[in-house]
Amino acid sequence: MPSFASPHPRYQQSFLCSVQELLDAGEDQKLTGLTVFGEETHTIEELADPAAFAAFAQRLRDLALIGTPRPEGKVPETMLWWVDGSDLLGRLSIRHELTDALRECGGHIGYVVRPSVRRQGHAKAMLAAALPIARGIGIDPALLTCGAENTGSRRVIESNGGVLEDQREGELRFWVPTTV
């Protein structure tokens, strides 16, 4: 049964395969997981090195720590990988606070499921599992956004209690309660 795990070197091969699937599907580079904070970009070739991947996984875990250096305007975020055994199925991030930019697009929680396992309920399960974690961080309710044309993501958010607030520049903005 899938569950969350912290980024770890044991998922290196599956992570790299997931990234390749996303690239092959023509997904936005930001969704691949190769870019941290929109500024630190890595390559599949670079992360094929076990030491480089271990450092990358540690960097992702450190993003949740208050004292971690980050670019101006970036906030602490908890990165979680949705795994089944050694298979990485998807990724989710919980941003601990909102900037003005995140209020418009991005929100508190973002997620991506690798193409080969989409439409199997993973996004819905990931978001459901993330809401108590967000509550533990002090987030309630959580803001989630998705493109107006992304009906799959909209269904995921609404099935987890999301209430549409509005649409801004093509992005739907939902508030999802994190308390039961």
- pLDDT tens per residue, range 113-136: 999 999 999 999 999 999 999 999
What is the rounded average pLDDT of the residues 61-70?
Answer: 90
Residue 18, domain member (yes or no): yes
pLDDT average, residue stretch 141-163: 97
* Cβ count within 10 A of residue 30: 12
Question: What's the rounded Cα separation, in Å, for the pair 129 and 148?
Answer: 24
Domain assignment of residue 70, yes or no = yes
- SS3 assignment, position 52: helix
Residue 83 falls inside a structural domain:
yes
Which is higher by pLDDT, 167 or 30?
A: 167
Would you say residue 79 lies in a domain? yes
Domain contains 74: yes
Question: CA angle, corner 76, sides to 82 and 102, nearest 5?
Answer: 90
Provide the token pair at 26. 């023509």
What pLDDT score was predicted for residue 40?
A: 74
In the prediction, which pLDDT does 35 show?
Answer: 73
Q: What is the pTM of this model?
A: 0.94
- Domain-embedded: residue 34: yes
Which tens digit of pLDDT belongs to each residue from 81-119? Answer: 999 999 999 999 999 999 999 999 999 999 999 999 999
Residue 100 CA to residue 96 CA, distance in Å, equals 14
Structural domain tally of the chain? 1
User: What is the token pair recorded at 162?
Assistant: 């999301």
Distance, in Å, from the CA atom of 172 to the CA atom of 161, rounded to the nearest integer, reads 15
pLDDT of 151 > 80? The answer is yes
**What is the domain-level CATH number for residue 85?**
3.40.630.30
Q: Looking at residue 103, what is its pLDDT?
A: 93
150: in domain: no
Looking at the chain, the number of H-run helices and the number of E-run strands are 6, 9
Q: How confident is the model at residue 39 (pLDDT cuts 50, 70, 90)?
A: low
pLDDT at residue 37 greater than cutoff 70: no
Range of the domain at 13: 3-138
In a domain, 167, yes or no: no
